[in-house]
Structure 1
């Protein structure tokens, strides 16, 4: 059987980009059991309530929902168990140092397969305040309106 090539997206956490200022991102491997991999290959997962934590110089992913595999038997996994992330020691030390000193949190942004291996993109993030969210929405709306005005101008329409 040929080895998988490329990247296959399983799940994204769009809410994280809305609720947090993303400061730095890392790609980490995941320690999974067989039925979790089969469930992910079926394209089923949710990162919405997920976060990562450092316990004893290891990074653990909490709250990520990977549903039970439908054809699984008694060997099936629990849907919201904590999963170990695979990172280099230097990356773990860097993340731990920044989380402790600056008050950042670790949130998962995406879950995908890269060359046949399950990966998760995690980010060091700082929570946004509600006025920051409103400001970001207003900026996005203003940018959209200017692009529409430029497009109308190029087509020859007068406003």
Structure 2
């Protein structure tokens, strides 16, 4: 049987969430195979699975995590586009490489968007890869005129 279920992530899904996160980084060209970040990511997911400020969803295909998506409520100073200062950051939208093209990523994304709407927060944001851009645009996302910039804070100097 090929049963597909979309649900909130559970403790037994954390290894798969970390692996899908690693796959997301590989797809983005951010190679980093050391185990330290994976151990921290494992603990991070465990700590947030039941936190109401996070919506972590998986698409389960016959007992296998096929895809995931995550939302997090962020708190910031109020602004014209976010009068109460809060927004939702969507991230970690990823599908296992051998299961791409079957709509699983879209199902995970839809679940996290439903969760985001239920928070009552008016704005949602995400960072899109070229391959994911279409699904986000179909959901009403538009490119921002002010793209994200990053710098590493370390003794070694600036590098992103």
Which structure has more RCO (C-alpha within 8 Å, separation ≥ 6)? Answer: 1
Which has the larger share of strand? 1
Say which one has the larger Rg.
1
Question: TM-score, normalization: structure 2?
Answer: 0.29
Question: TM-score, normalization: structure 1?
Answer: 0.29
